Amino acid sequence: MRNTALLLIITTIWLSASFKKLAAQGTPLISIHGETQGTTYSIKYYDDQKRDFKKDVDSIFRDFDRCLSTYRPDSEISTFNKSHAVRFHGPYFYPVLQKSKEIFLATNGAFDPTVMPLVEAYGFGPKKNLNPGLARIDSLLKLVGFEQVSFDSTMVSKSREHVRLDFNGIAQGYSVDVIGAFLSGKGITRFMVEIGGEILCKGYKDEGKPWVTGIENPLLPGTLYSTVRLTDRAMTTAGNYRNHFEKNGQIFNHIINPKTGSMEQSSMLSVTVFANDAITADGYDTAFFVMGLEETKRFLEKRKDMDVYIIYSDTSGKLRTYATDGIKNMITETAAKN
């Protein structure tokens, strides 16, 4: 009798799982695409109602830009950069300030959104400097330091004139989380949101398969170096191989050390961070680039809430990789190392 009851329980569980699997397989996969934040986005989600959220998503992106885009002179952040203080009008400024402060303190200033004066001096950002080699770094460093920014849930202010914020190292990741929260609020439990390579995945695809994404080969942009199986996690990547330029024989790189004012010359070519949310991953991928390989390893010994996959070049110029234990079994390297 006990064995019969056990068999009945097992059969019931198996049938329940099978019906759920069949139901999941029958759920339509919706895909929407577009442009935002100077890049592209791709969103995939399973929805029995076959709803198209593109108009809603594009509306969210427009509101997001009105708050945090430094390329819009009328945005909240641009208004702050031109004034002493601003009150928040939208819901996005305050959470990014909170997370920025958290990462600034945790990394001893390796991530610092007040880096805007240096970003512009080197020729990046909305204002292009035609002679970045002449930048007066010592004087600009006086304007860098997140401790010069004060905020609460209603407003943000600065203690020194000309201090300016640049959230380009964290805002895109946050926008991924914002879209993910929107989909979750609509009852969507299985989705992948990708904006400019920053990714958040929830749930599984059909047949319980994880979402699959890729990490670019830093020496061959446009080709994959590794593929990643991902679910219920965010993934963002920072690299020094795309956003740079040469002027008078000097290479100018967009990843700037906010403590020294110098552009990073590093053996690290690509840093991918995995975290529970994309805003965390996005902020830390920039910080780890500034910190370097060995300091990042030491940092992560005490932070088990994150994983990294780093592509770097050794002393002979060959590509090498470093992955924390929590991510190793989710990555497949598809490119032969040089």
> What's the pLDDT score for residue 207?
85
pLDDT, tens digit, 9 for 90 and up, residues 78-123 = 999 999 999 999 999 999 999 999 999 999 999 999 999 888 877 6
- Residues of the chain short of pLDDT 70, as ranges, are 1-25, 123-135, 240-254, 263-265, 335-338
> What is the number of H-type helices and E-type strands within the chain?
10, 16
> What's the pLDDT score for residue 124?
65
Going by C-alpha positions, the residue among 260, 230, 245 that lies closest to residue 332 is 230
* Structural domain spans, the chain: 197-333
> What's the pLDDT score for residue 63?
97
Virtual CA dihedral for 229, 235, 239, 243, nearest 10 degrees?
A: 120
CATH of 197-333, one of 3.10.520.10, 3.40.225.10, 3.40.190.10, 3.40.50.2300: 3.10.520.10
User: Could you give phi then psi for residue 36, rounded to 5 degrees?
Assistant: -165, 155
> What's the pLDDT score for residue 18?
44
Give 54-112 as a DSSP string. HHHHHHHHHHHHHHH-TT-TTSHHHHHHHSSEEE--SSSHHHHHHHHHHHHHHTTTSS-
> What's the pLDDT score for residue 128?
55
> What's the pLDDT score for residue 7?
37
pLDDT, tens digit, 9 for 90 and up, residues 265-283 = 678 889 999 999 999 999 9
DSSP state of 282: H
Handedness of CA 167, 102, 253, 117 (dihedral sign): positive
β-strand pairing of 155-158 with 85-87: antiparallel
Going by C-alpha positions, the residue among 80, 103, 100, 104 that lies closest to residue 90 is 80
d(CA 21, CA 13): 12
